[in-house]
A = this chain, B = another copy of it.
């Protein structure tokens, strides 16, 4: 079964707005096991809309339109469906009543224009829109002929299911999840079971190394299938299979999850939508500990992530400091009379030379000072994030310092890392978070334990 998506609006074809709906719908269709063959984006032109609809229903079994359901003259999706399939538009009184009531609840009278939003091509089902004035359309149409290549021809009685949803992403998504997806699942029949997913999250290894460690797992014909994606150095292994219910699916995938775990060990940090910051925040909370963070350079990734971990009164993150460069961080230290007197102990082994020792002592002191000033049990120092300009000028690697102050000592290590400017910063920050994760998991850490995980 193939789908096509039609996104409608001059603001999309002109480039004024980025279309994110088509991608989201493709992913959702994929989750139902329906492959999307084409996205078409057209402006607010009736003839383009009619043509695009007719061609799409001739090729696909499911067509999803977004946009063009508003009350103004340039919202043409209803009319285009009526014209394309030669169906009259009819008023749905219930929809009209709802639109009138929605305006009334906002102390406004419904403008006459909005009446058109209660008009549907004859034979449509309605897709309710809980948070907007435009209901969606669900219409089964007879499709002239199968035009896709490579499929059995002569399927004369084929039909196509056309859905029209608003362009506002929040409304569209809710309507999809609440109404369209369940109707498509019904259409697909449930004998095979629906697609279930389980994501395994991995950090500290490259994509190609995962493939080397798990060669047979990524094979296309495998059941369950395992897909691999990478987002800013975090690897997601997505295990997918059809099952009648979640428990059956979990049973099916247990051997696969076992293989992954035994091959990757503690490179696996979480599941589902977990990111490293969620795992770190969860573990801190469970252990009743708090973390402060000092980031040096052109970014403050870790503080950002921990501030956003969605607990308004997050009690695990004590706060973060960001310095634009090392000397600013060192001046902070110098202005602290208390810091000077601290005994400096580094968790490191031998030092290369005196100036590196001195530098490491200062990083160590910065970590200690942060723990103290933020009243945190743990303080992580990460630096120095290069600026975009520095990354673009240097194709090579940069040296990074990671220092974790605990109640008893400061563990410090250096790593050389490089990569694409879009990825290097997050990868460095995640390396820092991963050090905290491993410390919390092991209640301590050794230099060897960390070094074994080098990329």
Pairwise interchain contact A324-B299, C-beta atoms closer than 8 A:
no
Q: Given the complex, which residues of B lie within 8 Å of A314, measured CB to CB?
A: 324-325
Known: A13-B37, A38-B40. A307 touches B300 (CB 8 A): yes
A442: Cβ under 8 A from any B Cβ = no
Cβ-based interface call for A26 (8 A): yes
Q: Which residues of B contact A447 (CB under 8 A)?
A: none
A320 on the B face (CB < 8 A): yes
Q: Is A341 an interface residue (CB 8 A)?
A: no
Do B38 and A373 have beta carbons less than 8 Å apart? no
Contact A15 B19 (CB under 8 A): no
A217 contacts chain B at the CB level, 8 A cutoff: no
Q: A300-B300, A321-B319, A375-B335 are known contacts. Are A36 and B16 too (CB-CB below 8 A)?
A: no
Chain B CB within 8 A of A152 CB: no
With A318-B328, A319-B322 as contacts: A15 and B30 at CB distance below 8 Å = yes
In the assembly, what is the distance between CA of A312 and CA of B327, in Å? 12
Mark interface residues in A279-303 (1 if CB within 8 Å of B CB, else 0). Answer: 0000000000000000001111001
Assess whether A23 is interfacial by the CB under 8 Å rule: yes
Is A27 an interface residue when CB atoms closer than 8 A count as contact? yes
Write out, one digit per residue, whether chain A residues 150-176 have a CB within 8 A of any chain B CB (1) or not (0).
100000000000000000000000000
Q: How far is the CA of A14 from the CA of B166 in the complex (A)?
A: 21
Copies of this chain per assembly? 2
The answer to whether B388 touches A310 (Cβ under 8 A) is: yes
CB distance from A260 to the nearest CB of B (A): 21
Are A42 and B36 in contact, with the CB atoms below 8 A?
A: no
Contact of A35 among B14, B36, B48 (CB under 8 A): B14
Which residues of chain B are within 8 angstroms of A375 by Cβ–Cβ distance?
A: 331-332, 335
Cβ of A378 to closest chain B Cβ, rounded Å = 15
A-side binding surface: helix, strand, loop or mixed?
mixed
Q: Does A390 touch B at the CB level, under 8 Å?
A: yes
Q: Are A389 and B310 in contact (CB under 8 A)?
A: yes
- State which of B36, B298, B318, B322 has its C-beta within 8 Å of the C-beta of A13: B36
Q: Is A415 interfacial (CB-CB < 8 Å)?
A: no
Please tell me if the beta carbons of A38 and B48 are within 8 angstroms of each other in the complex. Answer: yes
Chain B residues lying within 8 Å of A386, measured Cβ to Cβ, are 312
Q: Tell me if A18 is interfacial: C-beta within 8 Å of chain B.
A: yes
Q: Does A107 contact B (CB under 8 A)?
A: no
**How far, in angstroms, from A304 to B136 measured CA to CA in the complex?**
40
Query: In whole angstroms, what is the CA distance A27 to B374 when docked?
Result: 47
List B contacts of A39 (CB < 8 A): 7, 12-13, 19, 39-41
A203 at the interface (CB under 8 A from B): no
A208 within 8 A of B: no
Given contact pairs A15-B27, A26-B13, A37-B48, A308 touches B299 in the complex (Cβ within 8 A)? yes
A-B residue pairs in contact (CB < 8 Å), sample of 20: A14-B27, A14-B35, A18-B23, A19-B22, A37-B42, A37-B43, A37-B48, A38-B40, A38-B48, A39-B39, A45-B149, A297-B307, A300-B303, A307-B324, A312-B390, A314-B324, A317-B324, A319-B324, A331-B375, A332-B374
Interface pairs A-B: 6 shortest CB-CB: A15-B26, A15-B27, A39-B41, A47-B149, A319-B323, A312-B387
Partner-B contacts on A (CB < 8 A): 7, 12-20, 22-30, 35-43, 45, 47-48, 149-150, 229, 297-300, 303-304, 306-308, 310-314, 317-325, 328-329, 331-332, 335-336, 372-375, 386-390
Q: Assuming A13-B38, A300-B307, what are 19 further A-B pairs, CB within 8 angstroms?
A: A15-B23, A15-B27, A15-B28, A15-B29, A19-B22, A19-B23, A37-B42, A38-B43, A47-B149, A298-B307, A298-B312, A300-B303, A308-B387, A313-B325, A318-B324, A319-B321, A319-B323, A319-B329, A321-B322
